[in-house]
Amino acid sequence: MITVKGVSKSFGKHTVLSDIDLEVPESQTYALIGPSGAGKSTLIRTLNALEGIDDGEITVDGVPVHGKRTDLNDLRSRIGFVFQSFNLYPHLTARQNVSLAPRKVRGRSRAEADERSAELLSSLGLGDKLDAYPGQLSGGQQQRVAIARSLAMDPTVMLFDEPTSALDPEMIKEVLDAIRRLADTGMTMVIVTHEMGFAREVCDAVVFMADGRIVEVAPPDQFFTAPGSDRARDFLGKVL
Ligand code: ADP
Ligand code: MG
């Protein structure tokens, strides 16, 4: 579903991604982990062309992401992206935040978009918060609204860049549980995370990055019990 071949990227003289190869099969959830500055955010942002690339090729669901003729708006509407900060519209209710893009971009009627919005929010445990404004919601609730907003566009792929890093500890679980249920539905996902327990229990593979390179890709049980590189052993020694 996601194919990255020979991708490199520099900011000025600083090489941030170095000859990256990666394949994420359909319906799989991959965790992208590694030390700060490894290039995780840059890599995940190249997958929907929020960052350009200098070399190589990326396709998502058959679409060449960085192709000259690729319609980026169309592409991005089919790739959900959830960030650390939720960036909801503060003047819109939860339901309106979720139904906005389907109405504006997909041309859905208000009734249709609102109904689907309510369904999605309910499935994420927010059925009683449809008419709440972001300011009335906790961080964990806001992040679940942000996930619903992405899902409302019927994405084929979901990308998450540290979705729980801005949350208080007691709210992390509710967001990870929502992502876990999404994994169970067969969504194809890439998640940058520092939640090692989540990576181990939910993800199909761990992609370990350091210094702009993919150091190893391994099934979680193997990665966490017998990492194949000194770099990964060193990293796990610090975070576990
Ligand atoms: P990670 O998400 O793994 O912490 P990033 O992808 O954010 O790493 O950053 C990788 C490297 O690229 C870092 O050294 C960072 O300073 C650098 N970097 C990221 N974005 C930019 C930018 N827009 N301009 C210059 N350097 C950047
Ligand atoms: Mg990052």
pLDDT tens for 11-49 read 999 999 999 999 999 999 999 999 999 999 999 999 999
Amino acid identity, residue 173? K
Residue 240 confidence (pLDDT): 86
Residue 51 CA: which ligand is closest?
1
Percent of the chain with pLDDT over 90: 98
Which positions ≥6 away from 99 have C-beta within 8 Å?
108, 110, 113, 114, 116, 117, 152
Residue nearest to atom 14 of ligand 1 (CA): 37
9 Cβ closer than 6 Å to some ligand 1 atom? no
For the cut 90, the answer to whether the pLDDT of residue 4 exceeds it is yes
36 Cβ closer than 6 Å to some ligand 1 atom? yes
Give the ligand 1 atom nearest the CA of 43: 6
Interatomic CA distance for residues 135 and 138, integer angstroms? 8
ipTM of the complex: 0.98
How do 188-192 and 157-161 pair as beta strands?
A: parallel
pLDDT tens for 191-238 read 999 999 999 999 999 999 999 999 999 999 999 999 999 999 999 999
41 Cβ closer than 6 Å to some ligand 1 atom? yes
Residue 138 confidence (pLDDT): 96
